Amino acid sequence: MRKSIPNNPWYWVPPLYLTEGIPYVLIITVSVIMYKNLGVDNSAIGLYTSFLYLPWVIKPFWSPLVDLYGTKRKWFLAMQLVLSLAFLGVGLSLPTNQFFIISLAFFWLASFASATNDIASDGFYLLALKEEQQSFFIGLRSTFYRVAMVTGQGLFVIFAGYLEVKYGDNTKAWSLTMVMIAALMFILTLVNFLVTPNVEKAKDYIKEESLTFWKVFESFFRKKEIWVALAFILFYRLGESQLVKMASPFLLDSREVGGLALSTSDVGLIYGTFGIIALSLGGIIGGIVISRDGLGKWMLPMILALNVPNFFYYVLAYFQPESAFYAGAVVVIEQLGYGFGFAAFMMYLIYVSEGPSKTSHYAIATGFMALGMMLPGMASGFIQEALGYPGFFIWIVIAAFPGILMVRYVKFPYEYGKKRGSGE
């Protein structure tokens, strides 16, 4: 019966990537807003929610298991079911006295399941589609991942804010929101079960590449000037990795402690809706100009675009304007620059991964990318509490300098990423 389901990517690509994106944005971003509204201090938020990046840092170490045992379809369906139960656990734990420890444990479970779901879903995409289909549907895949981000950072946060006002109880509001998210994840799991085709056989997954994983891993670190490349990867977002953890607490915190005292719904609308739209637009523009001119021309302008707008957060912290318009304008400008600058970063990761084992090498490179977000993010709350919001945002600007200075030392073909035939 299952074999009769046609392999129609228009049916299964949207729900599969919606189900991939929602858990990530909930674990990494929405958890910050939730804990802030439940009274957790910034140092604990920065430390523990940044530590949730760890599964994405180390996922290259267990990714071969997804190849060696079972099909990718079975893996992502199992992980999506685990995610449903994990978010249910978060929701039910919030009314308890030990809610922070218990909910973090469920978020930890969700983060490992989400990272594994990413491996299996991306692998299924590569296996289920022919090469020409992969390039054709990459836009649809990216679109629904962005829809997931808008849903998570925008709609879910706005909904939680509505319940906070309705019940006057933040714990009840977020508990109900997380239970609702668990139900949605279960529905999406069921949809993926019904629409994804059986295109794999378990016996196909015992591959020589998987058995020689350590050789592949070792070859990554033999690349020419790889340590310079890894330092650049770690420093590229040194400022942004800390800003992303403290931006929402800054918008939510009371004016007495230096925040802007915006409502949860306002933050959901500003950061999760207009911000994501600006982020997506910046990424599209970044991809277009790299395709036209090559990475060499745009690397420095793009890393500047990613970091310079962060100064406006200092302006917000210094003047503390009462209107949400100013906060919204700064978030849109910063996210637009972030999306534009991130395009160069992703292109550089692809360059570093070039070679016979580019799939495994890309997983390793993105692991270091996640490490570059995790470690600074863990310290961000302590730094903010020590310096206050104005001092913290000045520090964010200063933290950008190592990555900017390293641009002159990283090497790659000047026209790397340029569309073939463009300008020739």
Q: pLDDT 10s digit of each residue in the chain, 424 long?
A: 445 577 777 888 888 988 999 999 999 889 999 999 999 999 999 899 988 988 988 887 777 677 667 778 888 999 999 999 999 999 999 999 999 999 999 999 999 999 999 888 877 776 776 655 655 565 566 667 778 887 888 889 999 999 999 999 999 999 999 999 999 999 999 999 998 888 776 454 445 444 456 777 788 888 888 999 999 999 999 999 999 889 989 999 999 999 999 998 898 888 878 888 888 888 888 888 888 888 899 999 999 999 999 999 999 999 999 999 999 999 999 999 998 998 888 888 878 877 766 666 777 888 888 889 889 998 999 999 999 999 999 999 999 999 999 999 999 888 887 766 544 3
In the prediction, which pLDDT does 126 show? 67
Whether pTM > 0.85 for this model: the answer is no
Which is nearest to 406 in space by CA: 236, 225, 222?
236
Neighbours of 134 (CB within 10 A): 14
pLDDT value at residue 165: 92
pLDDT at position 4: 56
Please tell me the predicted confidence (pLDDT) of residue 218.
80
Give me the domains of the chain, ranges plus CATH numbers: 8-194 (1.20.1250.20), 220-404 (1.20.1250.20)
At residue 276, the pLDDT reads 82
Q: Can you give the pLDDT at residue 201?
A: 61
